[in-house]
Structure 1
């Protein structure tokens, strides 16, 4: 009962947490990370946390923030408190009787009914969250930077919430031991654009491991830390794969090496196509079947023009022959390569002459 007498916690905050806990909403203590929004418990996804277990780490750390786990709940999290944006969301999902004003925007609460739409993918400054693996900062919380979560309409746990309908996506559990790493990588990439930092993502993954994975004690925190760090780096590098909405990089110096050369435009078209199809896997070997590429609608150039374009890509060091043709058993394969970052514009013609003479082909420029 010591945690219940924590003097630094405002009475209104403790009373609100007790009320929500009594209404059946799972809560978790927050206060970690730079913004104070990361969980203070590793196994925060456990459904059995008592109010004392939630308040105790808040008391130890001086935190005045807690989270509401979204078991059976859905939250539309607007990044800005724009009345037009809020009206747009309520016109789409129905009016929410519970609004909480956040330091940046607004939380709209609903009852969940399946997976959530990807509103970020639609270009909206809105996150959609639901499920036992997700949480939002609870009403009356105050972050270390002074950010306050103010209830401005209704009360969670008292007002009836409408259902936010979305396509269902059942979750299978437990995740078998041999599949845990791969499944957690997939979960990390699904969540990485909806968390504040890699620490929050790591905490989410810990909850998934503890609640959904078989034999969670044999999966160390260091493995989760590595997964979260890798996924966060992908987000920072803008390399989170989004299907046909994804972007892929092109070296400007590669284009410079091809411009103003015979068949240069064809070579650029071929290079873009190859980067689109194979550039996401560095070192990937692939055959070049120009007839098949034309049939698939990837390029409409004639086969002779495509062969000339391929030769130019090889000449300037952007494509390397990886394996030769073996009659009846193996097609020749190629690898995309990159020009060295230190190459100056004046050195591009020299590079081409060296490669044409066969000096260092695929050795200096390959990133295998």
Structure 2
């Protein structure tokens, strides 16, 4: 079968590539080989493959296949789309919020963590892939032989990926959550389940079960700590402060609006600021590039290049956007971070770190530690 020209796939494939790239995923151009799954560049394991290096070979060779490199990710690659097999994998490794149908089977996405057992050696038609030297074909790709990769559940880059539990122990349970990781692991679990409970009492009860079943040394983690996690999570649910991908609210500080309103070009700056808070405000301390061309190609902005630059400069001048990493030729682009204004104070990061807002563990230690 003749490969489809990239121009026919631009609206779907290109926008998906740009969206995932802006979300921080490491992507690769594919398209070589009979099945189109071989990387289209030589040094694909380099620390960073730029967006242009991904898109250019696809346009040049007229293919619509790209790869998601598994830096910090893990994918369960099932040879067959067998419901019983998928259920078995999720029972063993935890549920995945992102499923992609492949020409033969199904991909289940997770964040990397714990052991990566050889499932083939166990007689299962499954590969567990992880690491910077591994990749899978990305969602919406279409191979030259016609094989498609169709999202079946959730959206990669939108859904919050859980850490894969790792190998089963002899008893059949996931590996225990280690001391030093228990508190933040249960905060993450509480956020994931809070919308399914009737209140903080039920949430606390579920956390008690998780602590007793999955945490190392559960007796050293008091019930009061779990109640604190449950109360904190419930209050943030009520205030709309929890991030659940696109199905969630986010807030914009009124001081930011006041700083921009009524100024020449202020409406453009407000629009850019709201977009940046939407894309990055939920990720504490996140650094990001501002590439007008890529953002426009992804449908994220309709500002002209001049208007975009003017809006960005206004955000910088008003202390709402700061330079996190300066541009270095041959190294990386300039990166930014969001900041917010506080009366009588210098600019500060716009989103408090988890350690500042999440409930503390025993002995006053920060969120994410015991």
Calculate the TM-score normalised by the size of structure 2: 0.43
Higher relative contact order (CA 8 A, sep 6+): 2
